[in-house]
Amino acid sequence: MNNKTVIITGGNSGLGLETAKHFAGQGHQVILAVRNTEKGKKAKEEIQRAYPEATIQVHSLDLSKLQSVREFAETISSQVGVIDLLINNAGVMMPPYSLTEDGFELQFASNHLGHFALTGLLLPLLEKGETSRVVTLTSIAHRNAAIHFDNLHGTSGYKSFLFYGQSKLANLLFAKELDNRLKANHYKTISVAAHPGISSTNLFTLGKKKTPWYVKPFLKLASQPAEKGALPTIMAATNESLRGGELIGPDGAGGRKGNPTVEATKKGIYNESTMERLWNISEELTEVKYPFE
């Protein structure tokens, strides 16, 4: 990579901020797509203290609102000729039950549907890049998860951890199905998934203002710092040996921490009918139609 344009959703804290620091430090133009622009500006200042020459923009993006996604995509399309790297990093983790203004369960909307719509809307700019990539963050929570097609939005019952798992499985299946369709339609852009293992970030507030006291001992024992957790994302975004469709995660026990590597997925995780059904319903719900045959 050399002097590329990189968009990072949720780039103002945690994994997103560490990822932004990496690319800013390498001299790339970094666009922080954030829900809270004040926090985004503080993140920009933090990055520029370390890298005074860094080129960083802050733009408003609330992935839980499709109107915000469309407005962000329109703004970027009017200002940027090419996107080289889209990192679908932002996420919410196990909040109390709520529906978005579009009528979707918050985690499914923020973690999956918003990124699905964003990627589709920005795909024409991505395809203009010579070696463009989409990196979508999933989680080890995908391993025991399922897509509840009969209760996608929790209207028939809701458990925050089950719906978090659903959203992260959707991230993984989207990343794989996107790569399949890009290849089938002869696009240059590739799609790769990544997960950070267990990383100590602000997601572990579990819907509260601060990380609960009973979670902190577990994090200290089992997690790794955000700068280490960002390494799978960076590998997914930059490693030249990747061809698309891979999952990158830590190489330690259970994929919880360690150095980044290509991870073997659970057998049967990429169920073709599930991926196609998820894709079709995502297009239907977001009203974003990808330009694929």
Q: Is 164 one of the catalytic residues?
A: yes
Instruction: Please report, as a single letter, which amino acid is at residue 268.
Output: G
Could you give the angle at the alpha carbon of 86 between the alpha carbons of 173 and 123, nearest 5°?
80
Beta-carbon contacts of residue 188 (< 8 Å; ≥ 6 apart): 127, 129, 130, 131, 132
DSSP 99: B
Beta-carbon contacts of residue 241 (< 8 Å; ≥ 6 apart): none
Query: What is residue 133's three-state secondary structure?
Result: strand
CB 173 within 8 A of CB 117: no
In this structure, what is the dihedral angle of CA atoms 283, 183, 245, 13, given to the nearest 10 degrees?
-60
DSSP 105: B
Query: Which helix H or strand E contains 88, and what residues bound it?
Result: strand 85-88
Active-site choice (51, 97, 158, 164): 164
State residue 88 phi and psi, 5-degree precision: -85, 85
What are the tokens at 250?
Answer: 């830590």
Between CA 235 and CA 194 the distance in angstroms is 9
What are the tokens at 40?
Answer: 């985004």
Positions annotated as catalytic residues are 164
